[in-house]
Amino acid sequence: MPASLLRLACVVLLPLLAAAVHAQVVVPSALESWRGWVLKDQQFRSCPLLAGHNGAQGEADYLCRWPGTLALDARSDGVDFAQRWRIDAEGWIALPGGDGYWPQAVTLDGQPAIVVDRNGPALWLAAGNHEVRGHIPWQERPQTLRVPASIGLVTLAVDGRPVAPLQRNGAELSLGRSAGSTPTADSIELRVHRLLSDGVPAMLITRIQLQVSGQAREVVFGPVLPPGFLPTALSDEWPARLDQDGRLHVLVQPGAETLTLQARADAPLVKARAPAAAAPWPQREIWSYAADPAARISVASAATAVDPRQNDVPGEWQELPAFALAAGDEIRIEQRSRGLAEDEGNRLRLQREMWLDFDGGGWFAHDRVAGDMQRRWRLDLVAPFTLERASDGDGSALLVTQGDGGLSGVEWRTPAVSLDAGVRIARAGTRLPVTGWQDSFEHVHTVLHLPNGYRLLAAPGADRADGSWLSRWTLLDVFLAALLVLVAWRVAGVAGGMLACAYLLLGYQEDGAPVWTLLAALVLTLIARALPPGQLARVAQWLQRGALLVLALVALPFAAAQLRYALHPQLEPTHVVAPQGAGEPASAELADAEVADAAVGRQRKAAGALRPLPAPAPATASMALESVTVTGTRVESTANLEVARNDPAAVMQTGSGEPAWQLGHRYQLDWSGPILPTQQVRLLIATPWLVRPLRVVLVALLALLLVLSLRPRPPRAPGRGASALLGALALAPGLLLPGAPAQAQA
């Protein structure tokens, strides 16, 4: 070889040899024995790396098992399969078949192999080139066979005839109808229901109910959407897709299925037209319309209105108006007004618990407001109510501010209302606003706590005032009181009747007051005085003395308790009044109300619109406990006031101490809405300076009635004893026998 050619070969080959030396991975001999330990469970690192991957995802970024062409030969008794594999790192491969069609007689390179279930039949292969064969038996050829999606190359022969092209969808390969089975006609039936929802944007939900018979196949419908709507979501158990022309491609199977298609309008909703689609699309669609009153007041109209229940409209749509639309028919949306209607307001409910100060100088109320807010976005209290502190449903404190007119309140920016507030009510006489809030309420439930020595006589303006003196009088009570007054008048004249009437007005509702024993003693006294002298008269006198003894035994503890309460009202027992009538109180309704998370949001930006609430007036002498009230805020600017719930710089009001005592008497007031802000209630409350002397008067009246019953028998006028006896005898059975129910005339 010439020297020049030799030098040229050296120049060309030496760089190549150097590159080969540098490319070789050199492992030191001392570490060579560690190779297996380092590469344990990392054998895939020697496999080809997929394009666009960096290997960070582990084995998923490498291709270690290369499948060859899967050859399937389907016959009436089963299918034979054969496939070659190249394995770079040992692992599992997936085989065709599945539940009900499990591979049998599987061989690996001509040797029997074990098939295990790993979300389908699978076989373990070592590194190298392998050939896998097997057989899947069946009694009747299925219409589809499961073929792993990782196997891309498949050849199919059915009864010895090649099938091309293949119909595959995911892991399902169509085999066609079995030659030995009775052919079933291919048919499909569709029912279409649509829900048109007003909003921004308007939404259209289409539900297509399919009833399919025959073999598995692909069916094309369309177009399925009306003009002016764009698809957003498609859900179905069967494979389906929507092409660019608006046609729906569905790979159907024998059976029933429901397909749901969601779409949105690309313009403000004025009208919608049913699409014109060819068979098997139904000739008539059922449309339902759902208005959005929060955005606008609108109504839908079409040529044919139908009954939702008679047209199999889905259950959640059956309360909406429904229309039948043929191809090309329109449903028109008429706008009545924008936003809320004039009569559409906040839907609020109030649960209030009020405690009267021990000196009667004012009230403290614990309010819980729940419901939905549609407008205003501020909750204000009018005088004499003052909001001292407020918090949301999560217990986070809210800033109390003053709005226009000096009203104290809070900003509320979410539709769902869950407000917990502490309210101070200054001295305002007996007449108070029902709620004090500047909003209408659907229901108000108030619990009054009165200290010992106070009594609620009545509450004019309330729908119900359970526990008050007036509400506790029933028709039976009035009848019994009138009967006792009549007997006392017959025994002691007009003075006795007046004494009995005064006694019943003061003590009939008192616990332990002798009423039935007093009536029995007066009736027996009347009988004893009316009988002529004799054996019967002596028996009546002994009965009278026994009744008077029983009356004394009942009256003495009652009188002692009344005198003790007159001297020390704090010894009165606690009275908790349950509401009369069926149903639960309003607190149960408010407890079940849905409460969402609430945020404070931005305050009014107009200068002077909101200002921090000033400190309340100093506590009166009746509030003996010293208190510290936080009323300030470190926010300097009120022109652009921003309050964040989690802002550590904002100081929220905590208000004065809230009472929680359960002593004295408890009353429940209820109102059924709407309750307007101007609606008022009068609380007629008897104070201790009136209740305590009346207890002494009550004991004196009972003693006088007892003395009148012990008076000797006055001289009888001729004929008067017989009439008195007949009257007493007529009253006596009524004390012992239950009254017969009154029957109305036919």
Token pair of 47 as six digits: 């496999």
> What percent of the chain clears pLDDT 90, i.e. is strictly above it?
6
Return d(Cα 360, Cα 376) in angstroms, integer: 35
pLDDT value at residue 37: 72
Residue 614 has pLDDT above 70, yes or no: no
pLDDT value at residue 578: 53
pLDDT value at residue 251: 76
pLDDT value at residue 622: 39
Q: Residue 353 — pLDDT band, cuts 50, 70, 90?
A: very high
- Pure H helices in 132-289: none
Return d(Cα 482, Cα 501) in angstroms, integer: 8
Residue 7 has pLDDT above 60, yes or no: no
| Secondary element (H or E) of residue 429 | none
Q: Residue 177 — pLDDT band, cuts 50, 70, 90?
A: low
Give 568-579 pLDDT, tens digit per residue: 887 887 766 554
pLDDT value at residue 723: 46
Give 431-480 pLDDT, tens digit per residue: 888 888 888 888 999 999 988 888 888 989 888 888 888 888 888 888 88
- The more confident residue out of 471 and 43 is 471
Q: Judge whether 333 and 269 are in contact, CB under 8 Å.
A: yes
Q: Judge whether 367 and 351 are in contact, CB under 8 Å.
A: yes
pLDDT value at residue 141: 83
**Nearest partner of 500 among 478, 480, 528, 481, judged by Cα:** 481
Return d(Cα 571, Cα 239) in angstroms, integer: 79
For range 88-104, the mean pLDDT: 87
The vertex-471 CA angle with 470 and 472, nearest 5°, equals 90
Which one of 26-35, 287-296, 645-654 scores highest in mean pLDDT?
287-296
State the virtual CA torsion across 700, 703, 704, 708 in degrees, nearest 10: 180
Rg (CA), the chain: 46
Q: Which amino acid is at 240?
A: A
**Cross-strand pairs, 85:** 67, 130
Widest CA span in the chain = 176
- The more confident residue out of 541 and 19 is 541
Token pair of 175 as six digits: 């085999």
User: Lowest-pLDDT range, 183-187, 355-359, 626-630, 711-715?
Assistant: 626-630
- The more confident residue out of 259 and 46 is 259
State the virtual CA torsion across 710, 714, 719, 723 in degrees, nearest 10: -20
Burial class (CB in 10 A: 0-12, 13-18, 19+), 563: middle
For range 29-41, the mean pLDDT: 71
pLDDT value at residue 133: 93
For range 594-600, the mean pLDDT: 35
Q: What are phi and psi of 569, to 5 degrees?
A: -60, -25
**Nearest partner of 349 among 681, 675, 679, 668, judged by Cα:** 675
258: Cα separation from own chain's centroid: 29
Residue 132 has pLDDT above 90, yes or no: yes
pLDDT value at residue 310: 83
pLDDT value at residue 50: 65
Which whole-number Å values give the CA distances from 189 to 257, 279, 283, 511, in the listed order?
Answer: 11, 10, 11, 76
DSSP label of 311: G
Give 543-553 pLDDT, tens digit per residue: 877 878 888 88
> What percent of the chain clears pLDDT 70, i.e. is strictly above it?
74
Residue 741 has pLDDT above 50, yes or no: no
Residue 156 has pLDDT above 80, yes or no: yes
Per-chain mean pLDDT for the chain: 75
* SS3 per-residue string spanning 365-386: EEEEEEEECCCCCEEEECCCEE
Which whole-number Å values give the CA distances from 668 to 115, 354, 443, in the listed order?
Answer: 76, 10, 13
Return d(Cα 614, Cα 663) in angstroms, integer: 32
| Secondary element (H or E) of residue 589 | helix 586-592
Return d(Cα 63, Cα 49) in angstroms, integer: 6
For range 585-609, the mean pLDDT: 36
Which whole-number Å values give the CA distances from 49 to 68, 92, 152, in the listed order?
Answer: 19, 19, 19
